[in-house]
Structure 1
Amino acid sequence: MASTPERTPGRDEENPGASRSKKLTLATEVLRFLTAIVKLAVAIFT
């Protein structure tokens, strides 16, 4: 997760758009993780 120079951690809290984007990214990562687990389970049980 590389942070760009113009973005500081403090500003993320103040900016609703950046915060929502961060949450969206986190949700995407979780979804990909769960998908990988499901694929693994299917591969094991079939």
Structure 2
Amino acid sequence: MGKAEGERENWHGHVTAVTVAPTYRRLRLAARMMQTLEHISEM
């Protein structure tokens, strides 16, 4: 869960929670999702 605020070049985002189903935990999926979001936000 999260949100993005601002307009055009003056925006930022907040990630409140990242949840992974028990079956898929310990696969670093949440870390990969966060790395992808960070990469996208720097573009």
Q: Same fold, TM exceeding 0.5?
A: no
More strand per residue = 2
Shorter-chain TM-score tier:
0.3 to 0.5
TM-score, L = length of structure 1: 0.40
Q: Which has the higher contact order (CA 8 A, sep 6+)?
A: 2
TM-score, L = length of structure 2: 0.42
